[in-house]
Chain A
C-alpha cells in the first residue's frame, strides 16, 4: 500500500502452469535474443558482418545436398545415442557411459567384420555384427547397473569410468588389427569385398541409418509413454520407495533399463562402423555420448522433442565449423556462439518457471508477456 519504504528492486516468484503457446513464445524470444547477442559479439570481436556469419552458419548445414545429408546423418547418430540414454535418465539413473557403450558396440561390429569373413557368408556376418554390437553395448551398461542394483554404487562415476576402459580397449585393437602394418589405424575394413558393409538404399549412403533411427525414435516414444515398462521406469525414477510400495522390483527395472540403454548405444556404434565409416577409431563416437546428455535434457526426455534438440546442436556445430574455415576464425569462436545460444535457450526455461516482479507494483515483467 504505502510503498514509501524501500522495497527491493525486484523479486522472483514461481509461476503457475502456463499455456503452451506462451512457453513457446518465451523460447522463441530467447532464441531471437540469442541470435542478436551473437551478432553483436561477432561484430564487436571480429569485425565481420553478422549477417554474413549467419549465412555461413546456415550454409554449413544446408549449403549443398551433400551437406544436408551429412547434417541428417549426424542428427541421426546423435539422436540414436540420445534415445539410448533417455530411458535411463527417465529412471533418474545417469548413464554417462553412452560414449563407451557405443564404442564397445563399434568394436564388436569391427571384430565381426575382420574375423568372420571367409567362415560365414556376408548376410551372416551382418547378423553377427548386429547381435554382437547390441550385446556388447548392453554388457557395458549392465556392469554398472548390476553394481548399482546390488550395492547401490554411483552409476554416474561407474559409467563414466567404463568409457575410458572402452577407449583403451579400442586403442589396443586398433594396433592389433592395424592395416597397413605400422599405421596404428585399422583403415577401411574389407574395402575390396565390402563384407559386413550395410546395404545402401538406392544411392543414398546415409538413408538406412536415418530410417533406423527414426524407427527407434518412434518405438522409444511409445515404449516410454505407453508401455508397462515405461510406466515402471517413470515410477522408479520419481520415487524408489513408491515403486517398492506397489511391488515393483526396483533392481530388476534398473538392470533391464540399463541393458536397453546400453544395447541402443551399441546400435549407434554398429551403425557408425557397419554403415557409415566401415572402420574403427577411438574417436569414432565423437563425444556423442556426452552431447546426448544435453540433447536428452533439453528435450525433457521426450524422444520426439529430441529430434529438434539434436538438430539444434548438430546445426550449431556444423555452422561453427563452416565459419571457422570461411572467415579464418578460430573454431573456438563457433563454440562461443554455441555457448551463447545455449545460454539463452536454457535461460528461457527460467522465465517459463519464474516471473520477476519489479519494484512498482502492477507491472509484471517476465519476458513472456510479449
Chain B
C-alpha cells in the first residue's frame, strides 16, 4: 500500500460540557511531513479536539491511535510520552527563569543546564530558531516567548505539534519566520497542526485543511485544491462576503487631539513617548504596531484609566471648544458630557464581569443613573434583550453569565453595550482577536455603522490585512513612538510592517 499510516487517528471522538456537545463523533487523521490547518468558527470545537489529543480533556467517547496503535491519553504527560506537544495561545512560562530553565522545568533526572543549553542550540540550529538559552523570559518579546514554547515541546521529544492560533500575537515578519521554521519541521517529518482564523495564512502554510462546524467534522482536503471562499463557506455553512466595506468619511471634524503624550508604566518603563495625532469624527483611525508598543496605554490614557506623565489629550466638541481629558478618571469624563466608549482588549477581565449575566453587564454603564438608592434592572435587561436580538448573540438567555458564551458572542455583548450609549468617540482594542470570520465581519459592520453615524473611531488592530481594508488613516506605533501616520487607502502591507519594526519604516514614508 502506498497510503501513509497517519501519525494520529481520532475516531468518533465525542466530548460534551454539560448539555453542550463540543465535539460530535469527529474523525480526523494527522500525517507526518504535513501541516494540517484546523479551521472552524469560534465554538466549533477545534481547541477542545486538540485539548483531548494533548491530554487536557478526556473524551467521553471515541478512540485515539498514534501510528496505528490505540492509546489512552489521560494527562499532558501521557501526551508528551507519545510525542504530542501543544503550544497554547497563552504561554506557560516562568518569567524570572531563563529559556533553558523553563525548557527543562519539570523534567526528571539530573539538572544539567549546560547540557540542556547545548541540546537547545542543537534544536535551534536544525530548524532555524533563534533562542538564547540563557536569556530570561521577562526580557523576551512575545515572539521569542513563543519560540521558547515550541523549543520546549521539541526538547521533550514531541514530533506531533499542535499550535493554537500561534500568529495572533505576531507581526507579519515574525509570522513569516515562524512559518519558515514550521516548514523546516514539516520537512523533517514532523506532524504539525495549526489552528488559525486567518485564511491567507492557511493558504501560505498548510498542506491540508480540516474543517469543523458546530462540533462536527465537515471534511478535509489538500489546501491547493481549495480557496479561501470555499473554506469559509464550509466553516460557516453559507455564503459569506469576505471583503470589508470602507465608506468615504462624511464631513469629518476634529474630535480628539493628542499632543506630546508621554506615559510610563508603574515600573517606570516608558510606554508612550511624545505621541501626537488627531482623530476625526466619521473616520476610522487604525492603530498598527507590534503588540506591547503602547497601544493599550494609548487607549487607556484617552479613556482616563492611565496616568499621564506629560502631554495633553483634548476632546473637541461640535462648537469647537476643547476639553482636557488628561487627569480625569472615567467617571468625570462621563460627567463632563463626553460620550466615550471603550472596547478594551481584555474583554472578560476589564470590559465585562465574567460571572455576571448579560443584563447585569449591561448595567455597568448605566447603574448610576437616577437618584434612587436602588438599581434600575429593567432598562439594562431590555438593552440586553435588544443586543441579543440585533447582533444575533447566541446565548441561552440574558440571565446567563457571560463567561459561558463563546468568544465572538462575548465580544458582541461588549460592543453592543458600548455603542448603545450613542458615543461620539469609540475606542476599540483588538476588537476581533480570536473571533471567527463571521463574527469578525459583524464587528466590522458595527464599527462602520458607527463611523457613518459620525463617531470618531480609534481601532487598534493586529491583522494588517484588515487594518488596510478598514481604516481611513493608519497610525503606526513602534516602541511607544509614532512611526508614521499614513492614509489607509493605498497603503502597502510591507511598508506598514516595516514601520512597525523600525521608526519611520523606510524613512521616505510620510
B-binding residues in A (CB < 8 A): 1-8, 11, 13-17, 226-232, 234-235, 238-239, 241-242, 244-249, 357, 361
B329 beta carbon closer than 8 Å to chain A = yes
Q: A5-B63, A228-B375 are in contact. List 5 more A-B contacts (CB 8 A).
A: A1-B12, A14-B18, A238-B353, A242-B351, A245-B344
* Alpha-carbon separation in the docked complex, A175 to B353 (Å): 51
Give min CB distance, B65 to chain A, whole Å: 9
B352 A242 Cβ-Cβ under 8 A: yes
Determine whether the beta carbon of A1 is less than 8 Å from that of B334: no
Query: CA A248 – CA B365 in complex, angstroms?
Result: 10
Residue of B whose beta carbon sits closest to that of A12: B58
Max chain B Cβ within 10 angstroms of own Cβ: one of A5, A242, A248: A242
The answer to whether the Cβ of B217 comes within 8 Å of any Cβ in the partner chain is: no
Assess the A245–B342 pair: CB atoms within 8 A.
yes
B330 touches A245 (CB 8 A): yes
Which of B72, B346, B350, B365 is in CB contact (< 8 Å) with A7?
Answer: B72
Which chain B positions have C-beta within 8 A of A238?
Answer: 353-356
Q: How far is the CB of B371 from chain A (nearest CB, A)?
A: 10
Partner of B351, one of A226, A245, A248: A245
* B441 on interface, CB distance cutoff 8 Å: no
Q: Of B58, B356, B375, which contacts A11 at CB under 8 A? A: B58
Is B392 among interface residues, defined by CB-CB distance under 8 A? no
Residues of A within 8 A of B11 (CB): 1
Q: When the two chains form the complex, which single residue of A15, A235, A241 contacts B364, counting CB atoms closer than 8 Å? A: A235
Considering the complex, give the chain B residue whose CB is closest to the CB of A15: B18
Which B residues are CB-close (under 8 A) to A235?
353, 356, 364
Q: In the complex, how many residue pairs between chain A and chain B have their CB atoms under 8 Å apart?
A: 98
- Residue B465 CB within 8 A of the other chain: no
Contacts A6-B72, A241-B349 hold; do A246 and B12 have CB atoms under 8 A apart? Answer: no
**What residues of A have a CB within 8 angstroms of the CB of B61 in the complex?**
1, 361
B369 vs chain A, min Cβ distance (A): 10
Cβ-based interface call for B373 (8 A)? yes
- The contact string, 1 if C-beta is below 8 Å from chain A, for chain B 23-58, is 000000000000000000000000000000000011
Asked if B334 and A247 sit within 8 Å, CB to CB, the answer is yes
User: What is the chain A residue whose CB lies nearest that of B74?
Assistant: A8
CA distance A1 to B342 in the complex (A): 50
B367-388 with Cβ < 8 A to chain A? 367-368, 372-375
In whole angstroms, how far apart are the Cα atoms of A239 and B402 in the complex?
Answer: 14
**Which chain A residues lie closer than 8 Å to B249 at the CB level?**
none
Contacts A228-B368, A231-B367, A361-B60 hold; do A239 and B374 have CB atoms under 8 A apart? no
Q: Does B161 contact A (CB under 8 A)?
A: no
24 A-B interface contacts by CB (under 8 A): A1-B12, A1-B61, A1-B63, A4-B70, A5-B72, A8-B72, A11-B74, A13-B17, A13-B57, A16-B18, A16-B20, A226-B375, A228-B374, A230-B375, A234-B353, A234-B356, A234-B360, A235-B353, A238-B356, A239-B354, A246-B365, A247-B334, A357-B60, A361-B60
Cross-chain contact of A16 among B17, B70, B368 (Cβ < 8 A): B17
Chain B contacts for A4, CB-based, 8 A: 70
Q: Does B1 contact A (CB under 8 A)?
A: no
> Which chain B positions have C-beta within 8 A of A246?
330, 364-365
List the B side residues contacting A244 at CB < 8 Å: 305, 329-330
Question: How far is it, in angstroms, between the C-alpha of A17 and the C-alpha of B334 when the chains are bound?
Answer: 38
A234 to B360, CA, bound (A): 10
- A residues near B349, Cβ cutoff 8 Å: 239, 241-242
Task: Collect the chain A residues with CB atoms within 8 Å of residue B360's CB.
Answer: 231, 234
Q: Select A231's contact among B74, B344, B363, beta carbons within 8 Å.
A: B363
Chain B residue contacts of A234, Cβ below 8 A: 353, 356, 360
Residue contact A242 to B364, C-beta cutoff 8 Å? yes
Distance in angstroms from A237 CB to nearest chain B CB is 9
How long is the Cα–Cα vector from A7 to B349 in the complex, in angstroms? 38
Query: Smallest Cβ distance from B77 to chain A, in angstroms?
Result: 14
Answer whether residue B71 sits at the interface, using C-beta atoms and an 8 A cutoff: yes
CB of A13 within 8 A of CB of B375, answer: no
B344 (CB) vs chain A CBs: closest residue:
A245
Q: Assess whether B63 is in contact with A247, with CB atoms less than 8 Å apart.
A: no
B19 within 8 A of A: yes
Q: Which of A11, A13, A228, A235 has the most CB of B within 10 A?
A: A228
Q: A63 to B481: give the CA distance in the assembly, Å.
A: 78
Return A337 CB to nearest CB of chain B, in Å. Answer: 35
Name which residue of chain A comes closest to B366, CB basis: A246
Known: A16-B17, A227-B375. A242 touches B367 (CB 8 A): no
Tell whether B6 is near chain A: CB-to-CB under 8 Å. no
Query: Which residue of A4, A235, A245 has the most chain B CB atoms within 10 A of its CB atom?
Result: A245
- Asked whether any CB of chain A lies closer than 8 Å to the CB of B62, the reply is yes
Per the bound structure, the CA–CA distance linking A101 and B17 in Å amounts to 44
Q: Tell me which residues across on chain A come within 8 A of B353, comparing CB atoms.
A: 234-235, 238-239, 242
- Which residue on chain A has the smallest CB distance to residue B19? A16
Q: A1-B12, A7-B72, A239-B353 are in contact. Are A17 and B18 (CB under 8 A)?
A: yes
Residues of B near A8 (CB, < 8 A) are 58, 72, 74
Whole-angstrom distance between the alpha carbons of A291 and B352 in the complex?
33
Task: Check B63 against A239 for contact (C-beta < 8 Å).
Answer: no
Instruction: Give the complex CA separation of A370 and B10 in angstroms.
Output: 34
Find the A residue at minimum CB distance from B355: A238
Does chain A have a CB within 8 A of B331? yes
A226-B375, A249-B331 known; A13 vs B72 contact (CB < 8 Å): no
Mark out the residues of chain B between 294 and 350 whose CB falls within 8 Å of any chain A CB in the assembled complex: 303, 305, 329-334, 342, 344, 346, 349-350
Q: Which residues of B contact A249 (CB under 8 A)?
A: 329, 331
Are the CB atoms of B62 and A1 closer together than 8 Å? yes
Q: Name the distance in Å between A7's Cβ and chain B's nearest Cβ.
A: 6
For the complex, give the distance between the alpha carbons of A5 and B374 in Å.
60
Q: Is the CB of B20 within 8 A of A5?
A: no
The smallest beta-carbon distance between A220 and chain B, in angstroms, is: 14
